[in-house]
A and B are shown apart, each in its own frame.
Chain A
Amino acid sequence: MAEMSVDRKRRRRPEISIFQWLTLALVAAFIIVPFYTTILGGFKSIGELRTNPFGLPASWDPANFTGIIFGTALFRSLWNSLFIACSTVALSVLVSSMAAFALAHIRFFGSKFLMSFFMLGLLFPASTAILPLFIKLRDLGLLDKHLGIIIAQVAFSLAFSIVLFHSFFKRLPGELIDAARMDNCGYLRIYWYITLPLSLPIIATVGVFNFVGSWNSFLLPLIVLNTDTNYTWPLGIMQFQGQYGSDWPKILAYLTLTIIPAIGFFLLAQRYIISGLTGGAVKG
């Protein structure tokens, strides 16, 4: 009820001034135009890009798209990215939730120190350590292997994931765990049967976050992979762009095919992405 009356008052005195609306419209155009021209550009001929940049294409010729779809490179690279992203998510959710569970619920000597130690990871963005990481992966024999990328990504996402899990686990009602302990239920079973099923929202957040990070990552695969067939899609698209130089309609078609699934995923998972950002950010 209170909210409704607030709402009514807002409507009487509009929150958003005309000047603000104008900015919003300008910013919206600024965001949309590149997307719009990219997606339509795949249907246009190269000459048409210059003569008719904003209009609809003269003919909806899908040749650029079908050429790419029926080639092997795109789907192979998307598949590689998907495999790496899913493995990263599974492994990082498992490993970080276990560690966070132990840090949150089991009292042991040095647990506070260990938590601070993991928090150090928030200081190491992968790009600062990329060079020694490359050497380390080489020494471990993981160059040009997807496994190398996966475990490196998991390692670098640990700090952030553990922080998110830890603060979530701490907020779960402690009585639940005490009661389970009274019933002689071990920590392993508490973790698996009580904590994890209650933690689906945070699992989704950590999962989505790591998925997007992995799906979009470029520097790490660039350094680790060197065989075409192992390439992830960002490497694939850079290679494609290198091959076709300024045959823009082809490149734009390729771009469109890679961003459409990303946009779809984003619209579905938006909620979790935002809660991860703001939740993680506020926890610092």
Chain B
Amino acid sequence: MTTIASSAAISAPRRARRYMDRKSLVPLLLFIPPALILFVVLVVLPMIDAASFSFFDWTGYGPMTDFVGLDNYDDVLSHRHFGTAVRNSLLVIAVSLLVQLPLAMWVSLALVEKRWSVNVIRTLFFLPYMLAEIAAGLIWKFVYDGNYGIIPTVGDAIGMEMPFVLGDKFWVMPAIMLVIVWKYFGFHMMIYIAGLQSIPSEVIEAARLDGVKKWQIVRHIKLPMIWGSIVISVFFSIIGALQLFDLVIPLSNGGPNNSSHTIVTFLYQFGILRMKLGFGGAVSVMLFIACVVITVIYRRLLFSREVD
């Protein structure tokens, strides 16, 4: 946003303004509407619709007449699995922030150099991120399979009876979270590496010549200088955790006993599959508000630090 604002200011004085304005009408009418129409019809209007049918009891057919006020919101909040879904999403956020991001940071500090060997490792770590969630989920479903997977084999090796992790109420969430770390830490690593590479090497050299220790450089120079990257990756972790769906479906499909639902699998299972659109609309609106709040906070954080 800042770059856009500042560059708009630079391109200021234009000669023969009036002449150009007349000439620019046709291109404007050609260039703007396709994007605008798609955006309004398929992004903005549906969101407004969701808000409106969250106040009705509607199955998707016929007119919306059965106005129920805030009942749908009440139903969602008192749904016995909604609490689980929210708790699981928060759990995923916590693990992302406390395990995934530190791991990504730790690894990225070792992988900043632009060398061939470093590149190979970086590519390898980034690979799971590129994989479709469905494929990643199925690969790990196999790893966790209680009869033929890797977990029971490891159990055999150390002489322990391993649980069927994905069928176990206690283990299912840790299992899913491990896959999340596997799949996404490379993404955060890449963001950090890009940040670390943009630190001028003179700064670090100077500190080193002054005898500053390696981890002090990390703590007092590198981390503060990539603050923006850290805020961004925290933001993506949180938004990503709230959106989590594709990975859970092949792994546990929300089970066992609905214990591993996330907000979006909950929405899918109880709103969409059952065509309870009012109910689903209420979930959508709440999720959307959560995303907006987080985005606003993120922008504040990012720009407040930039101003300093």
Chain A residue at minimum C-beta to C-beta distance from B280: A131
| CB-defined contacts of B191 to chain A, threshold 8 Å | 277-278, 281
Q: How distant is B267 from chain A, measured CB to nearest CB, in Å?
A: 7
Instruction: Give the distance in Å from the alpha carbon of A219 to the alpha carbon of B133 in the complex.
Output: 11
A199 lies within 8 A of chain B by Cβ: no
Given contacts A23-B106, A24-B110, contact A155 B39 (CB under 8 A): yes
Contact-size category for B:
35 or more
Q: Mark B203-237, 1 if CB is under 8 A from A, else 0.
A: 00100000000000000000000001100100010
Interface residues of A in 187-240 (CB under 8 A from B): 187-188, 191, 212, 215-216, 218-219, 223, 234, 237-238
Instruction: Give the distance in Å from the alpha carbon of A154 to the alpha carbon of B35 in the complex.
Output: 9
**Is there contact, CB below 8 Å, between A237 and B138?**
yes
**Is there contact, CB below 8 Å, between B8 and A112?**
yes
Instruction: Give the distance in Å from the alpha carbon of A158 to the alpha carbon of B32 in the complex.
Output: 12
Interface residues of B in 24-81 (CB under 8 A from A): 24, 26-28, 30-32, 34-36, 38-39, 41-47, 49-50, 53, 60
A78 lies within 8 A of chain B by Cβ: no
B258 lies within 8 A of chain A by Cβ: no
**Is there contact, CB below 8 Å, between A132 and B38?**
no
**Is there contact, CB below 8 Å, between A158 and B35?**
yes
**Is there contact, CB below 8 Å, between A258 and B135?**
yes
Q: How distant is A26 from chain B, measured CB to nearest CB, in Å?
A: 10
| CB-defined contacts of A99 to chain B, threshold 8 Å | 31-32, 34-36
**Is there contact, CB below 8 Å, between A50 and B147?**
yes
Interface residues of B in 176-211 (CB under 8 A from A): 182, 187, 190-191, 194, 201, 205
Given contacts A27-B103, A99-B36, contact A278 B190 (CB under 8 A): yes
| CB-defined contacts of B239 to chain A, threshold 8 Å | 125
Grouping DSSP codes into helix (H, G, I), strand (E, B) and loop, the B interface class, with mixed when no group exceeds half, is: helix
Interface residues of A in 4-47 (CB under 8 A from B): 6, 9-10, 15-16, 20-21, 23-24, 27-28, 30-35, 37-38, 41, 46
- Cβ-defined partner of B50 (8 Å) among A32, A41, A120, A129: A129
Interface residues of B in 272-308 (CB under 8 A from A): 272, 277, 280-281, 284, 287-288, 291-292, 295, 298-299, 302
**Is there contact, CB below 8 Å, between A31 and B3?**
no
Given contacts A24-B110, A99-B34, contact A283 B3 (CB under 8 A): yes
A-B contact count (CB 8 A): 289
**Is there contact, CB below 8 Å, between B42 and A156?**
yes
Residue from the set B26, B139, B249 with the largest chain A CB neighbour count within 10 Å: B139
Q: How distant is B139 from chain A, measured CB to nearest CB, in Å?
A: 5
A86 lies within 8 A of chain B by Cβ: no
B130 lies within 8 A of chain A by Cβ: yes
Q: Mark A101-124, 1 if CB is under 8 A from B, else 0.
A: 110001110001011011111111
Instruction: Give the distance in Å from the alpha carbon of A136 to the alpha carbon of B24 in the complex.
Output: 33
Q: How distant is A19 from chain B, measured CB to nearest CB, in Å?
A: 10
Chain A residue at minimum C-beta to C-beta distance from B17: A107
Interface residues of A in 151-170 (CB under 8 A from B): 151-152, 154-156, 158-159, 162, 166-167, 170
- Cβ-defined partner of A130 (8 Å) among B28, B107, B139, B272: B272
Q: How distant is B32 from chain A, measured CB to nearest CB, in Å?
A: 5
Given contacts A24-B121, A34-B140, contact A132 B47 (CB under 8 A): yes
Q: Mark B147-161, 1 if CB is under 8 A from A, else 0.
A: 111101100000000
Chain A residue at minimum C-beta to C-beta distance from B115: A7
| CB-defined contacts of B110 to chain A, threshold 8 Å | 15-16, 20-21, 23-24
**Is there contact, CB below 8 Å, between B60 and A135?**
yes
**Is there contact, CB below 8 Å, between A102 and B245?**
no
**Is there contact, CB below 8 Å, between A132 and B121?**
no
**Is there contact, CB below 8 Å, between A262 and B30?**
no
**Is there contact, CB below 8 Å, between A127 and B50?**
no
| CB-defined contacts of B20 to chain A, threshold 8 Å | 107, 181
Residue from the set A115, A128, A278 with the largest chain B CB neighbour count within 10 Å: A128
Given contacts A158-B43, A216-B132, contact A127 B30 (CB under 8 A): no
Given contacts A132-B47, A218-B134, contact A31 B182 (CB under 8 A): yes
A56 lies within 8 A of chain B by Cβ: no
Instruction: Give the distance in Å from the alpha carbon of A34 to the alpha carbon of B138 in the complex.
Output: 10
| CB-defined contacts of A69 to chain B, threshold 8 Å | none
**Is there contact, CB below 8 Å, between A219 and B245?**
yes
Instruction: Give the distance in Å from the alpha carbon of A191 to the alpha carbon of B43 in the complex.
Output: 26
B124 lies within 8 A of chain A by Cβ: yes
Q: Mark B253-283, 1 if CB is under 8 A from A, else 0.
A: 0000000000010011001100001001100
Instruction: Give the distance in Å from the alpha carbon of A122 to the alpha carbon of B290 in the complex.
Output: 14
Q: How distant is A54 from chain B, measured CB to nearest CB, in Å?
A: 8
| CB-defined contacts of B109 to chain A, threshold 8 Å | 20
Q: How distant is B9 from chain A, measured CB to nearest CB, in Å?
A: 11
Given contacts A31-B125, A255-B139, contact A131 B281 (CB under 8 A): yes
**Is there contact, CB below 8 Å, between A133 and B46?**
yes
**Is there contact, CB below 8 Å, between B35 and A41?**
no
**Is there contact, CB below 8 Å, between B46 and A135?**
yes
**Is there contact, CB below 8 Å, between A130 and B267?**
yes
Smallest CB-CB A-B distances: 4 pairs: A132-B46, A155-B42, A99-B35, A187-B27
Given contacts A34-B150, A123-B288, 15 further A-B contacts (CB under 8 A): A10-B113, A15-B112, A20-B110, A31-B128, A34-B140, A46-B148, A128-B243, A132-B46, A132-B281, A170-B4, A171-B7, A259-B135, A263-B130, A277-B190, A278-B191
